[in-house]
Structure 1
């Protein structure tokens, strides 16, 4: 506590190197292209515009190992002017130390100390403009069909430290469509003003945030089930086709018959029998 006339102790931001962020964002973009067929954003789920001076909180479900890479690619592509930060399991951060250089801060999920770590770092992140806090709010891997989502209660305390923030639900899902690589899907829900959440008791606050994310997930899942690429904007397009001898044979056939070769299972189905 500071006395009258004594300036408050400045909050210490988690470590973040803009250079390392650019390197990792580029690396992970290529990694997604190499190992997935596509990263798709629902056309209805484009994030709302956020004023530069407004602190931003993005909270999402946590369906897979891929989430960290996908979130970095989304953050870099859709929020290029924001410095992104995120809580990270303390034990895992010791193994993947590079993430500490791009805004990840350690949290022990199994102790009260972890709650204090989360709030202290989050307060520092949300105390200034041009930053975004990204949270996998389930705190564990969970299937996209799990209901209730069981979001961790810590996110309901964020409006208390950042009442001017904008809170965005983000739904993530993965599926296999017609290519050998998986498809990653995302959609942002309706933004919620932290001040509106602050007017609610914590349990109701958490319930509203969970309901908003659940609604976004359900709507995204309906589009994924429909398997219609037209419902999505492609953020990242990977390498399609099987490759190797199979695609080599198809490429040769296209050349001999004067057709344009197109990789991918959909294109292969439309080829005439030979």
Structure 2
């Protein structure tokens, strides 16, 4: 198996960050993080971000959030080996394959995770906590066994829950909402029996998910920090006509559906 730390390419990552950002702006309205949901991570410690997994968009969210909120750290992401075979370019972005169907695959994941989370490194491991797609309303939140084991390998690490949602509000495009919960210390998790550790991880993630769901229901953009802005409005001929009308009337054109012409 290719060593993900050796395969990582900063130049490739910068290129695909540009491509992912363009794709996001075309298809999403905005990436928003509520004020309480910004990450609070002590410097100089290994970092594990364990996220909910509601959508295909989660990979794009990982790229945008990691590059904008943790620019000084390299991100590594485990991915089902069969799926990664269809997206080989991702190996250059820190994504590494995991064979979840075999004990050897699980052992390989833990070896790579131990490398990434070594105390002398400034890297971070991001992973979808359930290990599968899971509706954000599913309770208890499923936790993959590999995540539960990580505290045994990296008690110095900081474990940060990340809630993700993609609701539609007033515009044609969906919102990408993200919120980080309070970090859990690896040493405290390591001291717990595995079942209790899994419950602690699930509860921390569920709390962030529940709080983010409340924000999604409120539909108040002012409560969020915009991390990345997408294009507003309907686009196409209809918006060009609206823009022309606004210009003829001497008004500033606002493409949003909620704006008044």
TM-score, normalised with respect to structure 1: 0.91
* Match 2:39 to one of 22, 32, 47: 47
Matched, 1:143 2:120: no
Structure-2 residue corresponding to 1:93: 84
> For residues 73-222 of structure 1, what are the structure 2 equivalents within 5 Å?
73-127=64-118, 128-222=120-214
In 2, distance between residues paired with 1:251 and 1:22? Answer: 34
In 2, distance between residues paired with 1:202 and 1:19? Answer: 39
> What's the secondary structure of 1:144's corresponding residue?
coil
Structure-2 residue corresponding to 1:59: 50
Aligned residues: 258
* Match 2:231 to one of 228, 239, 263: 239
Query: Contact conserved, 2:4 with 2:96, CA < 8 A, in 1?
Result: no
Q: CA RMSD in A?
A: 1.3
In 1, distance between residues paired with 2:96 and 2:193? Answer: 28
Structure 1 residue 198 displacement after superposition = 1.0
Deviation per CA, 1:167-209: give whole Å up to 9, x if none: 1000011111111111100000000110011111111011001
* Match 1:228 to one of 220, 231, 245: 220
Structure 1 residue 111 displacement after superposition = 2.4
Query: Contact conserved, 1:89 with 1:106, CA < 8 A, in 2?
Result: yes
> What's the secondary structure of 2:7's corresponding residue?
coil
Deviation per CA, 1:223-245: give whole Å up to 9, x if none: 00111101111111111111122
Structure 1 residue 258 displacement after superposition = 1.1
In 1, distance between residues paired with 2:23 and 2:4? Answer: 32
Structure 1 residue 12 displacement after superposition = 7.8
* Unaligned ranges ≥5, structure 2: none
Structure 1 residue 50 displacement after superposition = 2.6
* Unaligned ranges ≥5, structure 1: 1-10
Structure 1 residue 21 displacement after superposition = 1.1
Structure-2 residue corresponding to 1:72: 63
In 2, distance between residues paired with 1:26 and 1:243? Answer: 22
